[in-house]
């Protein structure tokens, strides 16, 4: 996970029916530091039905330079 050739697959999986796939895709794009996906990841963080997906999107958004430590820390409680 996190290799540049995976970028397209990760982007495609952000809309997968399976929340585990969406979560992995968001995390992968964060690890790739794919700045082009920032807006999509922010939308995923705000709107996805699955808590784990929103958390992974917050991780990715944070990795892309938009601090989300408050969101990430809230999930530790």
* Alpha-carbon radius of gyration of the chain: 11
- Whether 23 shows a pLDDT value over 80: the answer reads yes
- Whether 52 shows a pLDDT value over 70: the answer reads yes
pLDDT attached to residue 34: 94
pLDDT attached to residue 5: 80
Residue 58: closest CA among 73, 4, 20, 49: 73
**pTM of the predicted structure, to 2 decimals:** 0.89
Q: Quick one: CA dihedral 77, 70, 67, 8, positive or negative?
A: positive
């Amino acid at each position: 996970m996190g290799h540049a050739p995976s970028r397209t697959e990760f982007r495609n999986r952000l809309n997968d029916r399976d929340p585990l796939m969406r979560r992995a895709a968001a995390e992968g794009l964060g690890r790739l530091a794919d700045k082009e996906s920032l807006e999509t990841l922010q939308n995923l963080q705000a709107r996805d039905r699955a808590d784990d997906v929103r958390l992974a999107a917050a991780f990715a958004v944070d990795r892309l330079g938009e601090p989300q430590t408050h969101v990430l820390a809230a999930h530790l409680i």
